[in-house]
Amino acid sequence: MDKFIVRGGNKLFGKVKIQSAKNSILPLIAGSVIASGKTVIKNTPKIRDVVIMCEIIRFLGGKAEFLGDDLHLDTSLVNSWSLPSNLTSEIRASLFMVGALICRFGYASIKRPGGCRIGERPIDIHVDALKTLGVKVDEGEEIVFSGKIINSGVINLRFPSVGATENAMMTALRGKGVSTIKNCAKEPEIEDLQKYLNMLGANIKGAGTSVITVEGLSKNNSGEIVFTPYPDRIELGTYLFALGAVGGEIEIHAETFKNSQSVINFFKDNACKIHIINDKIYNISISDTLRSFGKVCTGPYPAFPTDLHPQLVACALNANGITAVEENVFESRFAYANELKKFGAKIGVYGKLCLVEKSVLRGANVVAGDLRGGASLLIGALSADGQSEIKNAVHVDRGYYKIEEKFSALGAYVKRVSY
């Protein structure tokens, strides 16, 4: 296993290249099964979740390989609709394969998917959505979905779940007529999936709004599809909160900011200065006086993203005043707080509310328990006095590719070692 060794106290200076969004790439890999041909996904990081999804594609009979920074998929020979339990138990994103497999074969079989332990993440929203389209679901040791004949209809999601929205979109492509999905998630990653599926020959409208319409896929595009997803707004936010915690100045391409206004506004109203160069590059600098962020409530897009909540808390430990964070998506998201306290963090957790005070942080030995919580520990260690050790780097690797190299390139001391 790997761990990070971090020596805090260095400001961050330099350029940051933001990878394509993990939360776009994973459903796109699943969607490639519908393509039944070749797909190239540009600027794809070799993060653990992507690697596992590629292994699933290979298990089903397809091909997946990296050529430089691009992921090349060929699903023309996919011949199975039963997903491997040893892989699906590792990542929740394997659930995206269900809609794609139903669309192609009329069936899908999966054991309950894994992922970060950040609270209850039931799949009943997915199941109810697919049942509305006429899919029969047998929930035994394995969950078997039977949908040879898909009905067009109206799906009312009781919560704007990203995954359920995407599964419903892909499943509905097998039907005839037009299906309507209401109370959809509005995340930009859903827009990416719509664009990709439309490149296959689908007619999907409304991504980014609360209502999406899906027309049955009558003809599939047989040519190679090259797709560039949105930049990863969560990775961008992680580096911005690290910058807020330690200070400095970083340079980022402007197009990266398109879907990150909820985060950018936090810093614009605080100690952040943004300098635009040639309308393409942003230089973002943070002064030495960071103020508290007030009260922040997580929620579905465009609200503040739950996946940046832990990083915000780690940054707020360096801000004057008290920051309150209300978590409205995952009830167990505060598990990282006890690890931050080992640095000397003043954090109080009261149900779904977290209160954060400016703290004097000192190096400590901590353990990452999930992906975003691990990122928050890195930010805490970067702003702590002395050396820290963060075990279970594998959790961080699920969403960030060679994060230690990116931070090192900005002047931080972050090393990866095996133990």
In angstroms, rounded to a whole number, what is the distance separating the alpha carbons of residues 398 and 91? Answer: 9
Which residues are identified as catalytic?
116
Note whether 8 and 384 are within 8 A (CB): yes
Q: What distances in angstroms separate CA 179 from CA 31, 105, 164, 170, 204, one per listed residue? A: 18, 19, 14, 11, 10
**Phi, psi (degrees; rounded to nearest 5) at 387:** -100, 140
Note whether 256 and 236 are within 8 A (CB): yes
Angle at 397 between CA 48 and CA 91, to 5 degrees: 45
Angle at 292 between CA 272 and CA 270, to 5 degrees: 20
Query: Residue 95 class from Cβ within 10 Å (0-12 exposed, 13-18 middle, 19+ buried)?
Result: buried
Note whether 369 and 339 are within 8 A (CB): yes
**Phi, psi (degrees; rounded to nearest 5) at 183:** 60, 40
